[in-house]
Amino acid sequence: MLQIPRYVLEKLRCSACGGYLNTKPLMVRADDQQQMCGKCYRLLPAEEKEKYARQAGLESVAEIIQFPCRYNSQGCGYRYTWCDEKDHEANCPYRSLITFPSDGSVNKSNRVSNELFCESDQIRASLYYEIKDRTYTNETKTFDYTMKLKGNCDKMLCIKNTNNSDELNDIEINLNGTLLIGNKPELVFSNITVKPIQYTNLYESITEYDRRCYHCTDSCDTCNQKDSKSLCKNYSKGCKETLQFDNAHRHEINCEYNDYKCILEPCNLITSLPLIKQHIKTDHPDAILSNEANKTFGNKDETFVIYSYGNIFKCFYYYFKTFVEFHVMLVGSSDEASNYSFEVKVNLDSGVVSKKSKCSTWNDAMLEKGVTFDKKELLGDNEKKLNSRSASDFHNIIPLETNGSESRSIF
Which residues contact residue 317 at a Cβ distance below 8 angstroms, ignoring those fewer than 6 apart? 297, 301, 302, 303, 324, 325, 326, 392
Query: What is the DSSP annotation of 75-131?
Result: T---EEETT--TTHHHH-TTTT-----------TT------------SS--------
First to last CA, the chain: 48
SS3 for 62? helix
Backbone dihedral region of 383: left (phi > 0), alpha (psi from -120 to 50 degrees) or beta? alpha
* DSSP 8-class letter at 46: H
pLDDT at 79: 84
Question: What is the reported pLDDT for 389?
Answer: 33
* 384 — pLDDT class (breaks 50, 70, 90): very low
- Calpha distance 357→400 (Å, rounded): 10
Task: Please state which CATH class domain 6-91 belongs to.
Answer: alpha beta
In the predicted structure, residue 293 carries a pLDDT above the cut 80: no
Residue 42 has pLDDT above 80, yes or no: yes
Q: How many Cβ atoms from other residues are within 10 Å of residue 53's Cβ?
A: 11
Chain mean position to CA 5: 25
In the chain, where the domains are located: 6-91, 147-235+242-249, 273-399
In the chain, % of residues over pLDDT 90: 0
Q: 107: how many CB neighbours lie within 10 A of its CB?
A: 6
* pLDDT at position 350: 75
Strands (E), 266-350: 270-271, 288-289, 295-297, 302-308, 311-319, 323-330, 340-348
Residues with Cβ within 8 Å of 6's Cβ and at least 6 positions away in sequence, in order, are none
Residue 229 pLDDT: 62
Mean pLDDT along residues 301-314: 81
What pLDDT score does 9 carry?
80
348 or 40, higher pLDDT: 40
SS3 of residue 320 by DSSP: coil
**CA-closest candidate to residue 231, choices 205, 254, 252, 259:** 252
pLDDT for 25 beyond 80: yes
Whole-angstrom CA distances from 100 to 30, 119, 127, 136, 399 are: 36, 10, 6, 28, 42
Q: With bands split at pLDDT 50, 70 and 90, how would you rate the model's confidence at 395?
A: very low
The model's pTM: 0.41
- Distance of alpha carbon 324 from alpha carbon 386, whole angstroms: 10
DSSP per-residue letters across 346-401: EEETTEEEEEEEE-B-TTS-GGGG-EEEEHHHHHTT-GGGGGT-EEEEEEEEEEPP
Give the per-residue pLDDT at 125. 54
Q: How confident is the model at residue 140 (pLDDT cuts 50, 70, 90)?
A: low
When pLDDT is cut at 50, 70 and 90, the band that residue 409 belongs to is: very low
DSSP string, 175-196: ETTEEEE---PPEETTTTEEPP
Average pLDDT, the chain: 65
When pLDDT is cut at 50, 70 and 90, the band that residue 176 belongs to is very low
pLDDT of residue 260: 83
Environment class of residue 134 by beta-carbon count within 10 Å: exposed (0-12), middle (13-18) or buried (19+)?
exposed
What average pLDDT score do residues 66-93 get? 76
Range among 110-119, 126-135, 161-170, 294-303 with highest mean pLDDT value: 294-303
pLDDT at 299 over 50: yes
pLDDT digits (tens, 9 = 90+) for 80-113: 887 776 667 777 776 654 443 444 444 444 455 5
φ, ψ for residue 136, nearest 5 deg: -120, 10
What's the pLDDT at 65? 83
Q: Which of the residue ranges 208-212, 225-229, 280-284 would you say has the lowest mean pLDDT?
A: 208-212
pLDDT digits (tens, 9 = 90+) for 229-278: 667 778 778 888 777 766 777 777 778 888 888 888 888 888 888 888 88
Q: Would you place residue 363 in the very low, low, confident or very high pLDDT band (cuts 50, 70, 90)?
A: low
Mean pLDDT over residues 301-326, rounded?
Answer: 83
Worst-scoring range by mean pLDDT, 38-47, 149-158, 322-331? 149-158
pLDDT on residue 185: 36
- Are β-strands 340-348 and 302-308 bridged in parallel, bridged antiparallel, or unpaired? unpaired
Q: Give pLDDT, residue 351.
A: 77
CATH 2.60.210.10 fits 273-399, yes or no: yes
